[in-house]
């Protein structure tokens, strides 16, 4: 679970985004955003909705989708699409720092890593082409150690 200070920072950024875009703050959004921010990992809309169902059964899946979209536009969530057909969202901390992913195509587990050098190189590539870089996605697909040992087809 992220540090409280990080969550506060995020809530503030989220609030600013709402105001700046003439959007309203509602209880549902508050609940969704809170749960999202304090959940580690890659959440699909459906998973997030299930989590909320326990304590807030009346919140609709559509609202979860709509709120996740807002979070992504506000720069608080990164949308990732691995290979299971779902869009997954991930909160990546107050400094906008994000890690990359290494996905096992055998069992579906996702590990994360950060690599400063890669980060630097990609920034250079963007500059070389006069792109203002906004986001990036880096995923390695492979077979994890367990799946290799388990033997595969």
Footprint on this chain of its own copies (rule: CB under 8 A): 81, 102, 104-105, 111, 113, 115, 117-118, 121-122, 125-126, 129-145, 148
Residue closer to its own copies by CB (options 96, 142) is: 142
Nearest one of 98, 94, 39 to 64, comparing CA atoms = 39
Shortest reach from residue 59's CB to its own copies, in Å: 26
- Here the tokens at position 122 are 């990609």
Q: Which residues bind DNA (CB under 7 A)?
A: 18, 22-29, 44-46, 58-63, 65-67, 69, 85-87
Contacts of 83 (CB under 8 A, 6+ apart): 103, 105, 108, 141
Rounded CA-CA distance 109/104 in Å is 6
Residue 28 binds: one of DNA, its own copies, none (C-beta under 5 to 8 A by kind): DNA
């Amino acid at each position: 679970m992220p540090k409280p200070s990080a969550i506060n920072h995020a809530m503030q950024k989220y609030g600013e985004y709402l105001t700046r875009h003439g959007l309203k703050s509602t209880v549902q959004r508050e609940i969704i955003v809170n749960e999202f921010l304090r959940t580690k990992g890659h959440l699909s809309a459906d998973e997030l909705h299930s989590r909320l169902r326990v304590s807030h059964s009346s919140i609709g899946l559509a609202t979860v989708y709509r709120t996740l979209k807002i979070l992504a536009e506000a720069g608080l969530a990164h949308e990732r699409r691995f290979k299971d057909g779902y869009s997954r969202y991930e909160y990546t901390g107050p400094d906008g720092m994000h890690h990359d992913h290494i996905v096992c195509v055998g069992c579906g587990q996702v590990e994360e890593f950060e690599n400063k050098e890669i980060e630097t190189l990609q920034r250079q590539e963007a500059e070389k082409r006069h792109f203002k870089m906004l986001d990036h996605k880096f995923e390695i697909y492979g077979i994890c150690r367990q799946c290799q040992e388990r033997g595969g087809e």
